[in-house]
Structure 1
Amino acid sequence: MPAQAPISRDVARQAAHWLVLMHEQPLSAAQQLACTRWRAADPEHERAWQRVQHVQQQLGGLPPSVALGTLNRERRQALMALLVLAAMAPAGYLGYRAGIQQGWMADYRTAVGERHQLTLADGSRVNLNTDSAIDVRFDAGQRLIRLVRGEIVITTGADAARRPLRVVSEQGVMEPLGTRFSVRQLDGITRLSVLQGRVRATPTHAASQVVTAGEQLNFSAASFGPVRPASELATRWTQGQLVAEDLPLRDFLQELTRYRAGRLHCEDSVAGLRISGGFQLDNTDAILAALPTTLPVKVSYRTRYWVTVSQA
C-alpha cells in the first residue's frame, strides 16, 4: 500500500495514544510489550506509528510538558488531534502544526484584543498583551518563561530558592536582575525594554549585553541593534491604553491593528500625518471614529473587519 495512503481514524487514535502515553511516563514492561504487539498485529498499525513518530521529529520533539507528564486536558486533546491528523494524512496536520507554533498549546495565551495579568508561583507578575502566548516552567534549577508570541511585561518576584529567572524568545535568553521589563516578539527580532533594574540579554549566537533601566534595544539571534530610550508610555497597554507621541498615522494604525480583528488600511495620502494622545483599547471602533475630529481623514467601513483610513 502507498506510504501516503489514508489511515483509518481508529488506527490513528491508537497510534497517537501510544505516543502520548510513552512521553507522559516511562512505560512498564507490560505496556512496552502491548505496544510492540499492537504495532506487529497489522501493517496499518506500524504505518500509523511511523507517521506519528515522523511528526515528533518534525516538531523537534513533543512539547516539554508532555515529557514532564503535566499536560492538561485541553492541551492533551490538541496534541492528540494533531497526531491523529498526521497519522490519517500527512498533509492534513500542516495547518494545525502552524497553529501550535503560534501558541495554541501555550500555557497562557490571549486572543486579539484581549489582555491578561497573572501572578506566578514566585510572586512575579506577567502581563500578556493582545494576541500573546507564553509557556512557564519552574523547576529546581530555574524559573523559565518562554515567549511564544506577542508581548509581555514582567515584574520580577523574590524567589525564596534564589533560582534565576530566564525569559526565552526566538532569538535568545534574557535574565533579569531584579527588575521590571517588557519583551516583544517581532518578525526575526526580539525587542527588550528595561523599565527598572537591569536585564542581561544573550542572543543565541552572540555574547551577552546588560541593558539597564531606561534602555531599549532590538536583537536578532546573532547581533544587537542600537540602544534607544525606553518609555513607560509604551507599556500603558497594561492599563488599557494605547499612547501615541507625535506618531505617524500609519505607525499608529499598525499598532491599533494588533488590538482588533480584520484589515485596517492606511492610504499613503494620510500616512505621514502625526497623532498624539492616549486612547482606550477596549473600544477600537471609538478610536477610529475619533480620528476625523483631530485629523483631515475619513474612516470607511466596507465591513466591520475591513476598514480604510483615507484623505477627507
Structure 2
Amino acid sequence: MQPNQIDLERIQQAAHLMARLWSDEPSKHDQHACNKWRAADPDNEKAWQCLIQAQAHFGDAPKETIQIIARSRKMSRRHVLSLMGLSAGGLFFAGGYIHNWSISSHASYYKNLATATGEVRSFPLSDINKLVMNTKTTLAMPTEHQFKLDDGEFFLDVSQATPYQIETMDGTISFHQGKLNIRRTDDITRVSVFSGQNVQLIGKQMHNPLSIKPGESISFNTLNTSRISNTDPNTIGWVTGKLVAQRMPLTDFIHELSRYRKGIVRVAPELRQLAVTGVFSIDNTDQILQQLQASLPINIYQLTPYWVNVTAS
C-alpha cells in the first residue's frame, strides 16, 4: 500500500489489535476480535498487512511502537508514517545490521568461528568488508580470502572488491564484490546474490562452473543444481535480528524458528495449510510462539523448556 492510500484511522485500529495480541497474555477473545476486524473489510486487511511489513523498521521494540500508534488519535499523518518507517515511495526493507554485534578484535582473518543456537555475530574483514554469521554456524578461514563452511549460514557485505573463495561440502563458490548469502543446511548449499558482481560456483562432481548474477538464487549439491530463482530479501531478515515471513506455511516457519531455539520444536504436518506473515524478533522465541498461538488456530504445548509441540486447536 502506498502512503497516499493509507487510512490512518485503520492503521491505528490495526495497531490497537496488534498491541493486544502482542501482550504478555493474549486471549482467544483478542484473537477472535482481530480476525473478525480483518475479515470485515478488504481495507482493514490492507492496513494490517501494511503495519506487519512496517515492523521491519521498528528496531528492537516493535511492541512499544505499535502501542504508541494504537494509543494516539491525534498523531499527524507525517508522525505516523515516520514511526512506521514509510518513505515517500512506500515500504522498504530495513538496511543496517543488528546493533548488538559481538565484534572481535579487528584482524585480517579468523581461523575458526562458530555461533551458538540463537546467536548472530559480525566480524570485520577490513575497514569496509563485513561478515555476519547466523545461528548454529561453523566456519573457518584458513587464509584471509578463503572460507570453509561446515554447516549454517553467513552473509558477506563486500564493498571493496576482494577475491573470496567459499568452500562447502558440496562445492566451491567464487565471489568478489557485493552482498552474498550462503546457507548450508539439510545437506544442500544455497547461494543468494543480492548485489554486486556475478558469482561463480561449481559442485565437486560438476564438469563446468555456473554463473549467477545479482538478484538470483540457486541451491546445489555435489552433482546437481536447482533452477535459478529470484532472491528473496525476507531470507536475510536474520541479519537485522528478524525472522521475516510472508505467507509462509506454518510448518516451514516452525522449521526456521527451531534453528534459533535450543531443544526440539515439533509441528503437526497438517498445519502446513496455515500461513504466517509478520516480522519477528529472533531473540525471543517464546514470545514468537505466543504470538502464533494468539493469531492462529493452534495450541502450543511446552512439555519442558526444550520440548515444544505445535498442534491444531
Q: Give how far 1:188 is off.
A: 2.8
Q: Give how far 1:232 is off.
A: 1.5
Q: Deviations over 1:95-143 (max 9, x none)?
A: xxxxxxxxxx97111000101010124742111000001111336xxx1
Aligned residue number for residue 136 of structure 1: 141
Q: Which moved more, 1:108-117 or 1:119-128?
A: 119-128
Q: Does the CA-based 8 Å contact 1:122-1:158 persist in structure 2?
A: no
Larger Rg computed on CA atoms:
1
Aligned residue number for residue 288 of structure 1: 289
Q: Does the CA-based 8 Å contact 1:122-1:157 persist in structure 2?
A: no
Residues 114-193 of structure 1 mapped to structure 2, 5 A cutoff: 114-121=119-126, 123-138=128-143, 143-158=145-160, 164-193=163-192
Q: Does the CA-based 8 Å contact 1:180-1:196 persist in structure 2?
A: yes
Residues 1-312 of structure 1 mapped to structure 2, 5 A cutoff: 107-121=112-126, 123-138=128-143, 143-158=145-160, 164-197=163-196, 198-206=198-206, 207-312=208-313
Q: Deviations over 1:16-69 (max 9, x none)?
A: xxxxxxxxxxxxxxxxxxxxxxxxxxxxxxxxxxxxxxxxxxxxxxxxxxxxxx
Provide the aligned length of Structure 1 versus Structure 2: 202
Q: Deviations over 1:255-310 (max 9, x none)?
A: 00000011101113423211111111000000001112211111111111111111
Amino acid at match of 1:242: L
SS of residue paired to 2:224: coil
Q: Give how far 1:223 is off.
A: 2.1
Change in CA separation of 1:303 and 1:150 when aligned onto 2, cut-off 3 Å:
same
What is the CA–CA distance in structure 2 between the aligned matches of 1:176 and 1:260, rounded to whole Å?
31
Aligned residue number for residue 80 of structure 2: none
Q: Give how far 1:239 is off.
A: 0.6
SS of residue paired to 2:273: coil
What is the CA–CA distance in structure 1 between the aligned matches of 2:218 and 2:288, rounded to whole Å?
29
Q: Deviations over 1:212-258 (max 9, x none)?
A: 11111101111221011111221010111001111111000000000
Q: Give how far 1:199 is off.
A: 0.9
TM-score in terms of structure 1 length = 0.62
Structure 1 gap ranges (5+): 1-104
What is the CA–CA distance in structure 2 between the aligned matches of 1:225 and 1:292, rounded to whole Å?
35
> Which structure has more RCO (C-alpha within 8 Å, separation ≥ 6)?
2
Aligned residue number for residue 35 of structure 1: none
Q: Give how far 1:177 is off.
A: 3.2
Amino acid at match of 2:153: E
What is the CA–CA distance in structure 1 between the aligned matches of 2:225 and 2:127, rounded to whole Å?
30
Percent identical among aligned pairs is 28
Q: Give how far 1:157 is off.
A: 4.6
Q: Give how far 1:203 is off.
A: 1.4
What is the CA–CA distance in structure 2 between the aligned matches of 1:252 and 1:114, rounded to whole Å?
18
Q: Give how far 1:187 is off.
A: 3.0
Change in CA separation of 1:280 and 1:113 when aligned onto 2, cut-off 3 Å:
same
Amino acid at match of 1:250: T
Aligned residue number for residue 84 of structure 2: none
Q: Give how far 1:155 is off.
A: 1.1
TM-score in terms of structure 2 length = 0.62
Q: Give how far 1:148 is off.
A: 1.7
What is the CA–CA distance in structure 2 between the aligned matches of 1:283 and 1:126, rounded to whole Å?
23
Q: Give how far 1:158 is off.
A: 2.5
Q: Deviations over 1:176-209 (max 9, x none)?
A: 1312110001233110011012211121121111
SS of residue paired to 2:177: coil
CA RMSD of aligned residues (A): 1.8
Amino acid at match of 2:224: S
Q: Does the CA-based 8 Å contact 1:114-1:130 persist in structure 2?
A: yes
